[in-house]
Structure 1
């Protein structure tokens, strides 16, 4: 997964729809970020060439990039501490728009991000990531 000095297997840009907001009706902070998954993504070249499917690790990467782009405090002081869980429930195909909706919970030393990744066909994955706040 990419970080400040890392690289990503995903070329799609993160488009922040909603950065973390206070939520309503007792809900916690929530963010929404979208990615246009083009057929030109390099990962499609070898991942089922006759029936391309966006790899699950790339969906997790999109969740991570969405978290950094729209996290509390814009994510600049956060680093990934753990991938707590990932469950893949539907495919992502070339041409899809992948929407990552994340709910945030403050935890000791950082934040927990519980995200749903979906396309126009429905849910693609649920992912839980934990971030630590870097105090430099």
Structure 2
């Protein structure tokens, strides 16, 4: 199954009680997606033989793909990775859940995401899509 098919996007507007420091003129949305990585995924071949793990790059890519679909950002536009903190290994076959707060303001699109695998924290990722690239 392709990643684009696996990520199910559900938009939920953020409430008026935001405490994230976002400017009042920014638009913010919460999006959620899930994906299960197939053990046959070619990215797993060398990561690691006999003990396959989903590469951290793949988790960042899943967040990027979710955000570009939800925020109408062209997927080919580059993102700036502000933070990528990996909290636990992710193995093929585990359900990966991504929940992201996506904000848009005059400077671009900003994302703060949490990634979990089988209900345990797996990563914290922050991405920016600067306005000059949109």
Q: For the Cα contact (< 8 Å) 1:79–1:134, is it kept in 2? A: no
Q: For the Cα contact (< 8 Å) 2:106–2:131, is it kept in 1? A: no
Question: What is the TM-score of this pair, normalised by structure 1?
Answer: 0.77
Q: How many pairs are equivalent?
A: 124
Structure 1: tracts of 5 or more residues without a match: 1-10
Q: For the Cα contact (< 8 Å) 1:78–1:133, is it kept in 2? A: no
Structure 2: tracts of 5 or more residues without a match: 19-27
CA separation of 1:84 and 1:43: change in aligned 2, threshold 3 A: same
From 115, 118, 121, the counterpart of 1:120: 118
Question: In structure 1, what is the equivalent of residue 85 of structure 2?
Answer: 87
Question: In structure 2, what is the equivalent of residue 34 of structure 1?
Answer: 34
Q: For the Cα contact (< 8 Å) 2:113–2:126, is it kept in 1? A: yes
Question: In structure 2, what is the equivalent of residue 66 of structure 1?
Answer: 66
Measure, in 1, the Cα distance between the counterparts of 2:127 and 2:53: 23
1:12 paired to 2:3? yes
Q: For the Cα contact (< 8 Å) 1:68–1:76, is it kept in 2? A: yes
Task: Spell out, residue by residue over 1:68-118, the C-alpha distance to the aligned partner (whole angstroms, 9 max, x if none).
Answer: 1222xx334883341111100011111012111101223333111001111
Task: Spell out, residue by residue over 1:1-56, the C-alpha distance to the aligned partner (whole angstroms, 9 max, x if none).
Answer: xxxxxxxxxx533422413x322352442101111211011011111111100011
Question: What is the TM-score of this pair, normalised by structure 2?
Answer: 0.78
The alignment partner of 1:131 has SS state of strand
1:96-135 aligned within 5 A:
96-133=94-131
